[in-house]
Each structure stands twice: as C-alpha cells, then as structure tokens.
Amino acid sequence: MGIAMFGFVSNLGFTTASILLESFKFALTIAFYLAFSFSINNSFDAEGDVLQKEKAEKNPVATGSISFKESIVFSSCLAFIGLLLTYIWFRNCFTIYLVLIVLSLAYSAPPFRFKSVPFMDLVSHGLFFGALLYFYGVSALGRVTIQNILIGFSIFIYSAFLELRNHLNDFQIDLISGTKTTVCWLGYEKSLSVLKVLLILHWLFLLILSIFIYPIIRFPILIFVALFALAGKWMRFDYYLRLTDICTCIVYVLILLRVFDTAFLQLGGCL
C-alpha cells in the first residue's frame, strides 16, 4: 500500500481539488489488489503453510476454515471488483492494474507459479509487489518521468531484495514442501551472497536518487546514506537489514517531501 501511495501522492501535489476523495478511491483499488494477492497465495500455499504453525494460523485454507474452491471463488471476486473500480476511476492505468493481477496470479498459481521458479520469484515480486505498484500510482494522475523511472528501479531492486530475504527465512520449510525458490536452487550460502549484492545495488540507487532529487542539499543526504551503508561492517547482519528498511523509508519520504516542496513552489508562482 505504501509503495502504491508513494507513486500516487507524488503526482497528487496541491492542484487536485478533491484530494481525500481521489486518495480514498485509489487506496480502495489497491486494497482489493492486495487482498487478491494474499488470498490467491493462501489458496496455493496451504499445503506448505500447514507445516509452519505461524503461517497456518494466518491461512484459512490451511486451517480448514474455508475450502480451496471457496478460496478461489473469493479471490476471483476480489480481482474482478478491483479491475472494475480501476476501469471506472483510473481507466488510463487499467492495463497496469491488469498486469499486476496477472503477475500476482502467475506468482502463486500453476502452471507458472513463479515463486517456485528460481530468479523468476525475485523478478516477478520486484514487479507486482514493487515497481509496477509504484508506476500504477504515478500513472493514475500523471505521466511517468525520468525521476519516476529511477525511483521505480530502486523499488524493483528493494522488492526483489525483500523477497530473497523472506525466502532465506523460509529456507527449511520451502525445502520440505518442495517449493523450489531461488534459495533452494542456489543453496543458502550462495543466496546470502546474492542478497548482499542486491543490498549493494539498493544502496547505490539510493545514492543516485539522493543526487538526482536533492541537487542543492545533496551533501548531507549523501553523507546520511553513505554512513548508513557502511555501518553494516560494525553491526549484526540481521539488525542491519532491519535498519536498512528504516533508512530506505526515510529516503523515500525525503523524496516525497521534495516533490511536495517543488509542487508548492510552483503553485505559489501561479498564485
């Protein structure tokens, strides 16, 4: 939700008369998309989730609260309502929403089931739970700019990084359930090395964004990002990963504030 709203609010600015209404309508389309994504994933992950108590408790199909067939029907209704609302309210980016639905389905459901295809699990997650969500938000009220493309690349890498991190945590369960993720295919140690490469790429893109978005006060932002990136040498890796999330959010918020500041100055000039 945050990634999609990040893109949407970036183009919302101060010129839209019904800010709250437009934001609510957009958030509602995302809510149906997210509900579909998690619902369809629960439908096809029930067999594996039974093996892990924490996940089984969150999956109504795994607990037997609803049947697989009921879950599929429910998921389909969520997707249909989301598509209908998007077509009515944000027709100009309906195609992106449709691609999001299709990718989310292909990630969880056979015959594709990208989450069991090495590297496709990372790429697809980087798109349907990352860059495309952001571009859907951007396209809802405006055009995609070079700045948006840079941010989209950053979000893609970060989303793929999060997916790999999640699969590292689920390594044993995925092996038992036969889910052939990138981690299961490469092995734990090699996957950990890939995670570190993605982490480095993520920091590089944050540095590029800091230079591009903050041309005047770039030095303090660069120092902030650079020092945090180097802090991993003196911290436990799991703590560092969690703090990376916080730092990433801070940089994205700073980017959003910069966009608002630019929009406010433009509005003031018009007035």
Q: Could you read off the pLDDT of 101-141 as tens digits, one per residue? A: 999 999 999 899 998 899 999 999 999 999 999 999 998 87
Residue 227 has pLDDT above 90, yes or no: no
| Tokens 């069991």, located at residue | 116
Q: What confidence tens digit (pLDDT) does each residue in 2-50 have?
A: 899 888 887 765 455 567 888 899 999 999 999 999 999 998 988 777 7
User: Percent of the chain beyond pLDDT 90?
Assistant: 40
User: Percent of the chain beyond pLDDT 70?
Assistant: 83
The dihedrals phi and psi of 173, each to the nearest 5 degrees, come to -65, -40
- Taking all residues of the chain, what is their mean pLDDT, rounded to a whole number? 83
| Band (268; pLDDT cuts 50, 70, 90) | very low
Residue 143 has pLDDT above 70, yes or no: yes
Give the residue, 1 or 207, on which the prediction is more confident: 1
Rounded to whole angstroms, what are the CA distances from 176 to 62, 118, 169, 171? 16, 16, 14, 9
Cβ atoms of residues 128 and 104 within 8 Å = yes
Report domain extents, the chain.
2-9+19-270
pLDDT of residue 232: 57
pTM listed for this prediction: 0.84
| Band (202; pLDDT cuts 50, 70, 90) | confident
Helices 68-89 & 19-49, crossing angle to 10 degrees? 160
Q: What confidence tens digit (pLDDT) does each residue in 41-98 have?
A: 998 988 777 777 777 788 888 888 899 999 999 999 999 999 999 999 999 899 999 9
